[in-house]
Chain A
Amino acid sequence: DQQVKQNSPSLSVQEGRISILNCDYTNSMFDYFLWYKKYPAEGPTFLISISSIKDKNEDGRFTVFLNKSAKHLSLHIVPSQPGDSAVYFCAASEGLGGSARQLTFGSGTQLTVLP
Chain B
Amino acid sequence: SAVISQKPSRDICQRGTSLTIQCQVDSQVTMMFWYRQQPGQSLTLIATANQGSEATYESGFVIDKFPISRPNLTFSTLTVSNMSPEDSSIYLCSVHTGRELFFGEGSRLTVL
Inter-chain contacts of B109 with A (CB < 8 A): none
Inter-chain contacts of A89 with B (CB < 8 A): 42-43
Does chain A have a CB within 8 A of B15? no
CB within 8 Å of B: which A99-115 residues: 99-103, 105-108
Number of A-B contacts (CB under 8 A): 57
Q: Which of A12-20, A40-48, A54-62 contacts B (4 or more CB under 8 A)?
A: A40-48
Neighbour of A106 across the interface among B42, B45, B48, CB < 8 A: B42
CB within 8 Å of B: which A1-53 residues: 2, 4, 9, 32, 34, 36, 41-46, 49
Q: How would you classify the secondary structure of chain A's contact residues: helix, strand, loop or mixed?
A: loop
Which residue from chain B places its CB closest to the CB of A44 in the assembled complex? B103
Q: Within the assembled complex, what's the spacing in Å between the Cα atoms of A18 and B96?
A: 31
Q: Within the assembled complex, what's the spacing in Å between the Cα atoms of A93 and B45?
A: 13
Which residue from chain A places its CB closest to the CB of B106 in the assembled complex? A43
Q: Within the assembled complex, what's the spacing in Å between the Cα atoms of A4 and B43?
A: 11
**A46 with B31: CB separation less than 8 A:** no
Chain A contact-residue range equals 20 to 34
Inter-chain contacts of B43 with A (CB < 8 A): 44, 89, 103, 105
Which residue from chain A places its CB closest to the CB of B10 in the assembled complex? A41
A101-B42 contact given A43-B105, A45-B103, CB 8 Å threshold: no
Where the two chains meet, the residues of B that have a C-beta atom closer than 8 Å to any C-beta of A are: 4, 6, 9, 30-31, 33, 40-45, 48, 92, 94, 96, 99-106, 108
Where the two chains meet, the residues of A that have a C-beta atom closer than 8 Å to any C-beta of B are: 2, 4, 9, 32, 34, 36, 41-46, 49, 89, 91, 93, 99-103, 105-108
